[in-house]
Amino acid sequence: MVNDMSQLFWMCSIAGFLVFIIGIYGLLVTFNLIRAIIGLELLTKSVTLFLILAGYVTGQTGLAQALAITLIVIEVVVIAIAVGIVLCVFRHNRTIDAQLLRNIKG
Partner 1 sequence: MVINIIILIALVTAALWTAMTTRLLRSAVGLAITSAILSILIFRLASPIAAVFELSVCAGLIFAIFIISITVTQRVTPEAFETRKKERMTKFWPLPIIVIIAAVVLTQIHFQTTFNLPAQTTPNDVKIILWNLRHLDLLGQIVILLTGAFGVVILFKEWKNG
Q: Cβ closer to partner 1: 23 or 102? A: 23
Q: Which is nearer to partner 1, 78 or 101 (CB)?
A: 78
Least distance from C-beta 32 to partner 1, angstroms? 7
* Residue (of 12, 78, 10, 14) closest to 44 by Cα position: 78
CA distances from 42 to 3, 62, 75, 91 (A): 29, 24, 11, 26
Q: Please report how close the Cβ of residue 106 comes to partner 1 at its closest, in angstroms.
A: 24
* Nearer residue to partner 1 within complex by CB, 67 or 98: 67
